[in-house]
Amino acid sequence: MTMQNLPHPDDERLAAYAGGDRDVMDDATLVAHLATCDRCRPLVDELSILRGALAELPDLAPSRPLRLIPPVPAPAATPGVGSWLRRLTAPAMAAGAGLVLVGAIGIGATSGFLSQASSAMFDNREGLQGAGAPESEATASDTALTPGVKGSPTPSSNETKGGVVDSASASEPPSARFSPDASPAGSDATEHVRGRSTDEQPWLTLLIAGAGIFVAATALRFTISPRAG
Amino acid sequence: MPPRDPANPASRTAPLADEEAVIARAANGDRAAFTQLIEHYQSACYGLAWRLLGDPDQAADAAQDAFVHAYDAIAKYRGGLFRSWLLRITANASYDILRRAQRKPTTTLPDAEEGEAELPDRSALDPEAEAGRSELYRYLDAALRRLPEDQRTAVVLCDVYGMDYGEVAEATESALGTVKSRIHRGRLRLRELMAEHRELFMNERRLDR
């Protein structure tokens, strides 16, 4: 038994052999050693038996009932009226807030708070409108344009303004045509005051409407449940 | 006839008699067929998950995760043993949970000899097993729990569930050489841990070589 005097193979190689690892099974030296070694042969046998027992370990009953199949996927969410309304509330709130802001700025501008800053711009706008006026007033409009740009109105432009105000008051914020009046001494005070109050009206309407929309949209948003659909 | 699994002993769930037909129906979206398959193999999946994770709740979670993955993938199932296919999915689901838990690879599980209640009931599936065999299985499961985690997962996948080195490497996201070493060291360590119960397996089995 000379083989037994040779060094034993590494135990990990014996464990590989016990598992039927091809590389190790083909190792002639190791196979020859196992045939004669009283230490290694029983070790491999024991590992093999253990491995056989491991392969028999039974299946185990679950500790609790298992969900065997994923739940049926919910049908593609058809958004109901509620969810559509709810989706609209955010832009509506934003629009309402925007209107309130525009209205507030408008009132500020017409009530003189911003008139200093904006008068030049409004003059420009008036001038542009004048340019689009009928042929008969073309000359007057031209003269109106000039003082508008310069910021120093002439008496003739006052006449033109009066005509324009009457015809265009419905469509255009009239404040533009009255703001230059703050400086000239020629305009009378009562007309000025009356003009300002009527000028604020559309802005005020805008502000109130905006506030209304905002409040309504906010109320809707919190009334409709998030999962209405 | 469904293919017989040579590595599937009597203590394990055998394939359904009409398994191929049931699989085909499940692959076509038949939920009842899928439920039938999973119900049949749930103990196999749970057993693997429990042996990998060592915790009944985590094992149940892993098994259920695996069923969801299997449901999504069954249309792509291409033959082979369904049990093995399902167990590979279960191994991956279990390993995902292991990885999330970020336990050290050398961690061992709580001693099962004290927490015997943690060993799930298996009598229903093992009705004719002798008392001695059941005892051996119980000690083996207890010994597996005392292996370092990296060795336990490798031995469980390879020696208990018959996966080859490549499959174990894939499931545990490890190099082939690392996996081999873990399996071999795990076997040696398991033998040491089973030393005091040698008579349970050495007396019952006689090698015929």
Each residue's pLDDT tens digit, A65-86:
999 998 887 666 665 666 777 7
**Average pLDDT estimate for B157-163:** 96
CA triple A125-A130-A135, angle to 5 deg: 160
Residue of A16, A50, A55 lying closest to B162 (CB–CB):
A55
CA distance A50 to chain B (A): 7
pLDDT (average), residues A170-181: 46
Q: What residues of A are in the B interface, CB distance below 8 Å?
A: 11-13, 15-16, 18-19, 21, 43, 45-64, 66-70, 72
Average pLDDT over residues B35-51: 96
Contacts of A49 in chain B (CB under 8 A): 201-202, 205, 207
Distance from CA of B101 to the nearest CA of A (A): 21
Q: Is a pLDDT exceeding 70 seen at residue B99?
A: yes
Q: What is the pLDDT of residue B110?
A: 76
Higher pLDDT, residue B54 or A175: B54
Among A57, A53, A183, A170, smallest CA distance to A120 is for A183
Q: Which residue of B has its CA nearest to A56?
A: B9
For residue B126, pLDDT over 70 is answered with no
Q: Which of residues 127-146 of B touch A (CB under 8 A)?
A: 129, 136-137, 140-141
Residues of B in contact with A18 (CB under 8 A): 187
Q: Which residues contact A215 (CB under 8 A, 6 or more apart)?
A: A96
Query: What distance in Å separates the CA atoms of residue A76 and residue A79, rounded to the nearest whole number?
Result: 9
Q: Note whether A53 and B6 are within 8 A (CB).
A: no
Taking each helix axis from N to C end, the angle separating B131-145 and B176-193, rounded to the nearest 10 degrees, works out to 130
Residue A88: band (very low, low, confident or very high) from pLDDT cuts 50, 70, 90: confident
- Mapped onto helix, strand or coil, the DSSP state of residue B114 is coil
What is the per-residue pLDDT for B33?
A: 96
- Mutate which of B8, B13, B137, B191 to disrupt the A interface (most A C-beta within 10 Å)? B191
Whether residue A2 has pLDDT greater than 50: no
State whether ipTM is beyond 0.90.
Answer: no
Note the pLDDT tens digit of each residue in A98-134. Answer: 888 888 888 888 776 555 555 555 555 554 454 444 4
Q: What is the mean pLDDT of residues A10-15?
A: 94
Q: What is the mean pLDDT of residues B158-171?
A: 95
Mean pLDDT computed over A210-215 = 90
Which among A18, A58, A72 has the least Cβ separation from residue B125? Answer: A58
Q: With CB atoms and an 8 Å threshold, state whether B43 touches A59.
A: yes
Whether A229 shows a pLDDT value over 50: the answer reads no
- With 0-12 CB in 10 A as exposed, 13-18 as middle and 19+ as buried, what is B60? buried
pLDDT number for residue B57? 93
Confidence bin at A203 (pLDDT 50/70/90): confident
Q: What is the pLDDT of residues A57-67, one digit of tens each?
A: 999 999 899 99
Mean pLDDT of the A1-24 span = 82
> Where residue A16 falls among pLDDT bands split at 50, 70, 90?
very high
Flag if B202 and A46 touch (Cβ within 8 Å).
Answer: yes
Task: Give the pLDDT score at A41.
Answer: 94
Nearest residue of A to residue B162, measured between CA atoms = A55
Q: Does B95 touch chain A (CB under 8 A)?
A: no
Asked if residue B2 lies in contact with residue B16, where contact means CB atoms within 8 angstroms, the answer is yes
* Whether the predicted pLDDT of B121 surpasses 50: yes
Query: pLDDT band at residue B139, thresholds of 50, 70 and 90?
Result: very high
B residues 16..55 contacting A (CB < 8 A): 31, 34-35, 38-39, 42-44, 46-47, 50-51
pLDDT digits (tens, 9 = 90+) for B50-81: 999 999 999 999 999 999 999 999 999 988 89
What pTM does this model have? 0.61
Confidence band of A202 (pLDDT split at 50, 70, 90): confident
User: Is there a contact between A207 and A105 (Cβ–Cβ < 8 Å)?
Assistant: no
Of A29-38, A76-85, A95-104, B185-194, least confident by mean pLDDT is A76-85
On the question of pLDDT at B200 being above 70, the answer is yes
Q: Indicate the pLDDT class of residue B167, thresholds 50, 70 and 90.
A: very high
**Across the interface, do B187 and A18 touch by the CB < 8 Å criterion?**
yes
